[in-house]
Amino acid sequence: MSIHMHGIVIGSLLASPLAGFLQCDSVQPEDEPELVTETGVSAEFAADETPEVPLELLFDGEVPTARSLNLRELSLKQLGKFVFFDKISVPAKKQGCISCHDPAAGWTFPDTKINKAQVAAPGAAKGAVGTIRPPSNAYARNIPLQPGCGPLALPCGGLFWDGRAEGNVGPLFGGATTHIGAEVFKNSAPLEDLFADFLGPVADQALQPFPNPLEQNISQKAVCTHVSKSVYALLYRVAWGEKIDCTNAGFALSFKRIAVALAAWQASDEVNQFSSKRDKALAAEVKLEGVNVAFPLKGLTAQENLGHELFYGRAGCAVCHSNEPLAVFPDPNRAGLDPDELYTDAVFHNIGVPRNAKIPGPDGSPGLGARPLVIVDPDDDPTVRLGQHKTPTLRNVDKRPSKSFVKAYTHNGWFKSLESLVHFYNTADVDGTTAAAFGVTRCDPAKTDWTEAEALAAKCWPEPEEQGTLAIGFVIGDLGLTLTEEAAIVAYLKTLTDTKTVKPPPLLQ
């Protein structure tokens, strides 16, 4: 696709149903040149030398028509999709968002060997390796980091395991990322009306992976230039109403606009499908029962329905894995009925995950080591929050490209299966009665590099990596579940797998 297709673009745009729409594009900012005018193509547009393909060919799913009132928004999302799947890195073509967030692996890391051992993702540059496990970027809730959520006023929101991608708010603590603000609209009220919703933490987050030497390792300016020369550059122009500006004066803003595009796509229905077995069974039941809908659902097996009942009931999972922070449900069969359930409170907890000695530590020592996490209140004692991580969504937690593919769970990927993690929730309190019934004890602390396989074989749990505000002994760790009940919870988690897998745009393949 590197041939100059400029003539074709112009011809095609004018001949296509889109041409009429672009002419009367009601959201065209007033003082910007029209892309296509009544007399033909604007001088600014014609002077552009970028090789491009016709706009219609850049849409692989929802092809906009002249009636698409939101052509700009569709183009912004589609731009984000291209950038997500494109490998934009130094060295070239090594790494893109897709390299660490593969839809086929539930938007997480797609390499079974690395998931089994080191867990942290390698970067584009030789020898570079990350320090923590890539979480799912789908269903990443767009709530800014907030100091107080729910009845207990716990800090919540933001993106990353520690919430440091805060969104478009004043920085709450020192580790905050660079925010994106209204400057991307250049005082265009129509653009602001259209795109303001995308300026949350997901856009904030998208600024990070490109320049990170442990990730895509490429400068903002080089990202801008890459997009300006790509087959999909036209999408930028249609979305933002002007050509991408990669001059020294312009690239920083263009880079932010690319991040907004990534946020827009990550907010789309294509990424957040709500197409799992649970979603379908629930929707079918709502059709039949209307407001009287309740579990058990006819579309789920008896085992899956039992899993739901335990999840929202006795096992207490929904205390954290539910949209309502610290929600307590008196009747589990009337809970979990929200079609938009994301299975996370977006609050930070320490569930007591053991150290993963296979992750290279900051000072070369094995394991993550002490990692200060969100401090939203400057008066907070920073050590109190050690070990706290944002509750991850459980949507797609079992999605994997094949049955034998190993996924790594929790922030450091110490857990390799849902079965063992649920067993951990059940028995992690080694002084509790459930652990005693199963014969589970504390692993020998003299050995500091226990793997999950070794611990399971020895029927023990290693010390949590961090002791600060441990949830073990409080809501988790002594659940009194039988093995049959553990298996039912796992079966329920498996109903949260989306049924469609997003594919890269054909033009990138």
Contact positions vs ligand HEC (CB under 6 A): 84, 95, 97, 99-101, 121, 123, 130, 132, 134-135, 137, 140, 159-161, 202, 205-206, 209-210, 215-216, 262, 315-317, 319-321, 349, 351, 353, 389, 391-392, 394, 397, 409-411, 418, 421-422, 425, 471, 475-476, 489, 493
Closer residue to ligand HEC in complex, CB, 75/350:
350
CA 36, CA 16: separation in Å to the nearest integer?
12
β-pairing, 40-41 with 36-37?
A: antiparallel
Closer residue to ligand HEC in complex, CB, 29/134:
134
Q: How far is the CB of 284 from ligand HEC (least distance, A)?
A: 24
Q: Check: CB of residue 163 under 8 Å from CB of residue 204.
A: no
Angle 99-102-103 from CA coordinates, rounded to 5°: 160
CA 72, CA 17: separation in Å to the nearest integer?
15
Q: How far is the CB of 507 from ligand HEC (least distance, A)?
A: 19
Q: Which of 143, 265, 146, 260 is nearest to 203 (CA)?
A: 260
Closer residue to ligand HEC in complex, CB, 2/484:
484
Q: How far is the CB of 398 from ligand HEC (least distance, A)?
A: 9
Closer residue to ligand HEC in complex, CB, 21/160:
160
Half-sphere exposure of 122 toward its Cβ, with a 13 Å CA cutoff? Answer: 11
What is the chain's percent helix, strand, coil content, to nearest 5? 35, 5, 55
Structural tokens at position 113: 């060997």
Closer residue to ligand HEC in complex, CB, 194/320:
320
Residue for token pair 């970028």: 50
CA 231, CA 202: separation in Å to the nearest integer?
25
- For residue 191, give the amino acid letter: L
Q: How far is the CB of 213 from ligand HEC (least distance, A)?
A: 11
CA 412, CA 406: separation in Å to the nearest integer?
14
Closer residue to ligand HEC in complex, CB, 57/114:
114
Q: How far is the CB of 498 from ligand HEC (least distance, A)?
A: 14
Q: How far is the CB of 502 from ligand HEC (least distance, A)?
A: 13
Q: How far is the CB of 339 from ligand HEC (least distance, A)?
A: 20
Closer residue to ligand HEC in complex, CB, 299/313:
313
β-pairing, 441-442 with 389-390?
A: unpaired
Closer residue to ligand HEC in complex, CB, 6/87:
87
Burial 216-255 (b: 16+ CB within 10 A, else e): bbbebbbbbbbbbebbbbbbbbbbbbbbbbbeeeebebbb
Q: How far is the CB of 441 from ligand HEC (least distance, A)?
A: 21
Find the largest Cα–Cα distance for the chain: 82
Closer residue to ligand HEC in complex, CB, 64/464:
464
**CA torsion 490→491→495→496, rounded to 10°?**
0
Q: How far is the CB of 40 from ligand HEC (least distance, A)?
A: 37
CA 489, CA 67: separation in Å to the nearest integer?
46
CA 201, CA 178: separation in Å to the nearest integer?
10
Q: How far is the CB of 69 from ligand HEC (least distance, A)?
A: 27
Closer residue to ligand HEC in complex, CB, 12/168:
168
